[in-house]
Structure 1
Amino acid sequence: MKYVSYQDYIEHFGEIFEVQAKPSGIHTAPLKAFIDELNFMLSKHSRVFLFRFDLRFADDNILTDNSKIITIFIRRLRRFIEPHYKTKDLAYSWARELEKAKHQHYHFVLMLDGNRINHPQSLCKKIRQIWFEISGGSPYWSKWYCFHRTDDNLRSAAVKHVSYIFKVRGKGYKPKQARDYGHSRMDTRR
């Protein structure tokens, strides 16, 4: 059973983060996994670039029965990022959603070395190209941050902004083979 919180904050390893839990509640385990990914990136890099965007399908009637399409997207994105930004450190979290209108989409948050990238302009072009080639759809740009590891205010703002993707609403409407959430698990790749 997934734990759902309706509180305006979450505690993780002694730190308190403000979150967007209302009105549907928030799944705490995947949110904490995202915070772990962010903290790992901050432990490796003095600055982190964090970018949240949504991936929509061209046809609103598309329903995938597994998570293969997001795996393909990540693989192609990695093939661009590693040589372009000269880094192998690509952390991410994603959420699969199917809202009341029954349009499946993905929320995605990407984290990179902020010393290698500080603006998403060329990254946006490549994300748009990759997602269009895979799905025929287009991304929606949400917000990006680039902050130093000592900037707790911006880090907290980024966590609050990203917490939206872990909301309960829109989750669970999937076949058994599909997942609601995914993470890069950077801390296991040391």
Structure 2
Amino acid sequence: MNIVQSMNKYVYDGLVWDVLPNELDQEKKIMDKLFALKDKCFEHSSRLFALRMDFRLNHYTADNSPITHFHQQLIPALRKKYPKSLISYAWVREQVKSEAQHYHYVLIMNAHHVRYAPPLVDLMSQSWAKATGGTYWLPQNPWYLLGRNDADSQAGFMKRVSYLGKKRSKENTPAGVKCYETALRFPKRITGEIKPEKIAGSWAAGPELQTEESFSSIDKEPLKQSISLPKQLENYGLIPALPGKELSTNNLHLPRSLFWIWHRNAFRQQQKTLGISVEKYISDNRLQQKSATRHLKQRAFSPFWNEHIERYYCFYWPLGAPVKLYCELHGLKFSSARRYLVNFNAHKIKHKKSKQTMGYQL
């Protein structure tokens, strides 16, 4: 019994996972794609909602046009109903004794915006029927709620979805035709232009809201777009000119927390490129030893929160936009985001008259 259990394991990124296919039946390329897709989704959402379904056809097709037509129906419907959620999916093509192929499918979305399975089941089944005329099958306990720090929920889901990674029943796929695919798509960019010339100094350089076309799969890099901010910011005014004076402990023109956010970022960049120590950085920047040591040695934020911190303080905070509005626009949970973002009032900061701007990025 122990020997059988030991063969139903899969090692990914140094961790051992329980899976359904045994070692001889595991297709490594598919298994790696499934695990990578989960990790990529967690980079953009702390909670995920996943749904497993199977799709059947009435007639055989030598290509995967049924899936293509299915997505042409499904993706716009999901965009309309869940405009703030990422859309991620994986499918495999299989054929055993039946005349037509069938597809195993898993859909992953942002659990902050999607919490119930029935609406998704309706959308997916209707889209499949409209696109192909085929039928669907809903397995028992088809949906999962996953947490970024919840190992048990991830383990249960990956064991279930690992079924897609088996070698069996994929041998009949025609040569040159895909037998699997994974993809991750982000919400469309919210429109509402602010011209670059209205943005002071280095604030014009920063992260961008990503379009749906930015990611068609987990292997592609995001495309850089022009500066664009939501229309909801129109009531908050223009980005103010910030003081040209270099940051120092005597600079009272910035909120204290923002001051240390900048220094932590600058220190980590210099530490990575120059190997500079905390003590050397404190000495070079004439910072107070005790406070600076405590702030600079703080644990770094995750890439997910670093991106939101940079975006908020570069584009939203200077406009006076509150954290709560930022959370609504980006689908963040306010109770979590306020641990990383602070509502400073940029327009009440006393700025010195200067034609220069502070050349830094958070």
Contact preservation (8 Å) 1:37, 1:187:
no
Q: How many Å apart are 1:141 and its aligned residue?
A: 1.4
Q: How many Å apart are 1:75 and its aligned residue?
A: 2.8
Q: How many Å apart are 1:12 and its aligned residue?
A: 1.1
Alignment partners' CA distance in 2, 1:110 and 1:189: 21
- Counterpart code for 2:83: K
Provide, for residues 42-70 of structure 1, a one-character-per-residue CA deviation record: whole Å limited to 9, x for no partner. Answer: 1110100111110112x2xx221111211
Give the counterpart of 1:97 among 70, 90, 94.
94
Pick the structure with more strand per residue: 1
TM-score, normalised with respect to structure 2:
0.48
Aligned to 1:3: none
Contact preservation (8 Å) 1:67, 1:177:
no
Contact preservation (8 Å) 1:55, 1:140:
yes
Q: How many Å apart are 1:174 and its aligned residue?
A: 2.1
Give the counterpart of 1:129 among 122, 126, 144.
126
The answer to which of 68-77 and 120-129 deviates more is 68-77
Alignment partners' CA distance in 2, 1:121 and 1:180: 28
Give the number of the structure with larger relative contact order, counting CA–CA contacts within 8 Å between residues 6 or more apart. 1
Alignment partners' CA distance in 2, 1:23 and 1:134: 36
Alignment partners' CA distance in 2, 1:23 and 1:102: 29
Contact preservation (8 Å) 1:96, 1:171:
yes
Pick the structure with more helix per residue: 2
Alignment partners' CA distance in 1, 2:102 and 2:36: 24
The number of aligned residues is 182
Q: Please, what is the CA RMSD of the aligned residues?
A: 1.9
Alignment partners' CA distance in 1, 2:45 and 2:62: 37
User: How do 1:34-183 residues align onto structure 2 when only pairs under 5 Å count?
Assistant: 34-57=34-57, 59=58, 62-87=59-84, 89-142=86-139, 143-183=142-182
- SS of the aligned residue for 2:48 comes to strand
Q: Which has the larger radius of gyration?
A: 2
Instruction: Please list every run of 5 or more consecutive structure 2 residues that lacks an aligned counterpart in the other structure.
Output: 1-5, 184-216, 223-362
Q: How many Å apart are 1:161 and its aligned residue?
A: 0.3
Aligned: 1:186 with 2:199? no
- SS of the aligned residue for 1:186 comes to coil
Instruction: Please list every run of 5 or more consecutive structure 1 residues that lacks an aligned counterpart in the other structure.
Output: 1-5
Quick one: structure 1 residues 189 and 89, their matched pair in 2 at CA, closer, same or farther if it must change by over 3 Å? farther
Provide, for residues 161-189 of structure 1, a one-character-per-residue CA deviation record: whole Å limited to 9, x for no partner. Answer: 01111211110202224211111123525
Quick one: structure 1 residues 189 and 71, their matched pair in 2 at CA, closer, same or farther if it must change by over 3 Å? farther
TM-score, normalised with respect to structure 1:
0.88
Alignment partners' CA distance in 1, 2:55 and 2:32: 22
